[in-house]
Structure 1
């Protein structure tokens, strides 16, 4: 492998593109959603350095776009381009509940782009390609508690916090803060003039917790929790390229994030002081990082680019600096702050033993002028 890939512990190439993955459990189990609508569960055999398939099932008619596990890892929800949500048992892959989106006179079908558990193992949220965020309760007949149409382009991420709240980022350049229990208290940020591609909380040990947002221009912006009107800091891209964008964002520590870029690189970003510290690795195709997650013990960062999946070691043996990145320049790491499928089985839910996300172009959105609110101050 090349110098950038020296931290790779395992490389596996699937037959189909990986759209989403979640790692869980002490044995580094891996739940994977594919472009052909299949969902599979794997375990990582460290002794033989290989993936072992536990089950594999056709779950959605088109593609499986996103997955979310319950807190106890016993169940997971999958969403697909077929506008269907399915709740299944993690150990077997068997479906226990499903919800089918129906077209109405006021709203056409819009594929789900993201799903995330918000409160306990009963309340979850979905986002779709048209910017609608829906709150669901699995115990309720029909499931839907409320829908929010404050955003007008695809929902790229949903990040829960404080048990009942969530932040939704959108391709229209806004983020939306919601309370799962109080449906009338939504707070919408100012438009950021850029697609918001992903988000994650950081600075947990600080009184002013930060929410980091990735963008299509490669800039990472920071919002302060409780002050959602506009960003407070901008972290410039690690390389100078008009084609570079932030594709994935995962927590690495209390003050650090793993950033997956459109150049196939995974980098570690420190927050306040804001600087890219090192390159974890780079996918061999140098295509964009489509999805990534951190193992439960923090030992591995698992990422996928197209059909290629790699387990990266996150310890000291990984690359220590960005010097290996031929496109980076010294000043580009500095930050600027504003303040200082098989059709014959297309609907089968029965697992077989041992056997992209589509990114929408951002729509032209009018500027939104939103009055400031202190509803979430201190939360």
Structure 2
């Protein structure tokens, strides 16, 4: 996966608690607010005598919200469970890897999403799909222990490693100069040069699965998060372990870089974020409560803002410096496993257990980042349920704020 931004279809709903309303709950029927014909007539008579003008304004406000032009691609619905997604680094193309071993390539625009190619690459469930930096090669791996490099334009195989690991590969990360690193279910990391059939090095760094891997532009250190709750860094130049962190209380699930790659953020299955200084991976410098449920995935949006999601299906945004919840970017009905950001930074895509991929237009974050007041006291409860412009679910107060 790579990194992205804003919106959702009008059919999506979220009923988190009494302070958050779905469109159905707030709106009812657009014309009579969910009343029967008789009730509607009686209500209309009462409105004419009492507050008909106010009701007319409410209806206008609701319709105005519903009739705003689409600002994001339509949802993609698939037949099979989605394991991973990845945006192309320069074109409006997204790769979707599924549980039957196929990778679907979709073109997307504001008006439509169109399947352009289906690649039947693996015999078992895919685990990860990634593009190289220029988008000419697509890498994939699966439970069949095979790593493939496929030409994006022709669909032809460029390289194939069968039985690449003794255990299924869980995570794959492309590097520069035709190199990739892979981590498997049993804590083994391998560095590959596509011009050779054998790995450059093999390191056993733990006993649990490698959940995520990340490096910076210099690509000297590779940082690996593990199911054992340990953050391990590898010196890629020296082909050896650089440092090992303390063991955390739960799995470390995902990683992201911030502040011009000087800060590393790790998400966990307890809903906590741990912040590390780059090259100081032994112990975190700060920690935050991100949410009550497991954080399964994250994506940096700006140098300060992270979007994350997980078991509750809610896609949330948080400012990390200072730490503050910004609100809900969007929502799924089931857990979210993957997030990615488009090449132009306009959209985030998220995939859930509903076998769907939703797009959110997040361009508004460019202005939000500059408006954060570091001295303002946060109302965390309010911000946790606040719906940002990308979410089609509206707080009841949104409809009335300009009418009172």
With the length of structure 1 as denominator, give the TM-score of the two structures. Answer: 0.76
For 2:270 and 2:159, the matched residues in 1 are separated by 39
Aligned to 2:249: 193
Determine which of 291, 295, 314 is the counterpart of 1:246: 295
1:88 positional shift: 0.5
**Structure 2 counterpart SS, 1:77:** strand
Task: Give the direction of change, closer, same or farther, for the CA distance of 1:266–1:8 in structure 2 (3 Å limit).
Answer: farther
Alpha-carbon spacing, 1:73–1:121, altered in 2? closer, same or farther (3 Å) = farther
Unaligned runs of 5+ in 2: 1-10, 15-21, 23-65, 369-377, 385-404
For 2:121 and 2:130, the matched residues in 1 are separated by 14
Using the TM superposition, give the Cα deviation of residue 3 of structure 1 relative to its aligned residue in structure 2, in angstroms.
6.1
Q: Is the 8 A contact 2:73 2:108 kept in 1?
A: no
Match for 1:297 among 330, 338, 344?
344
Structure ranking higher in helix proportion: 2
1:66 to 128, 141, 147: 128
Contact 1:204 1:255 in 2 (8 A): no
Look up the match of 1:166. Answer: 222
Root-mean-square deviation (CA, aligned residues, Å) is 2.4
User: For residue 114 of structure 2, what is the aligned residue in structure 1?
Assistant: 52
* 1:221-255 Cα shifts (integer Å, max 9, x gaps): 111112111111111133xx4xx110111110111
Residue correspondence of structure 1 range 78-227 to structure 2 within 5 A:
78-101=140-163, 109-118=166-175, 120-140=176-196, 142-161=197-216, 162-204=218-260, 209-227=262-280
TM-score w.r.t. length of structure 2: 0.71
Bigger radius of gyration: 2
| 8 Å Cα contact 2:73-2:112 kept in structure 1 | no
Structure showing the higher strand proportion among its residues: 1
Structure 1 gap ranges (5+): 104-108, 321-328, 336-379
Q: Is the 8 A contact 2:106 2:115 kept in 1?
A: yes
Is contact 1:237–1:332 with CA below 8 Å preserved after alignment?
no
Match of 2:336, SS?
Answer: coil
Deviates further, 182-191 or 270-279: 182-191
Q: Contact 1:129–1:153 at 8 Å: present in 2 too? A: yes
- 1:37 and 2:97 matched: no
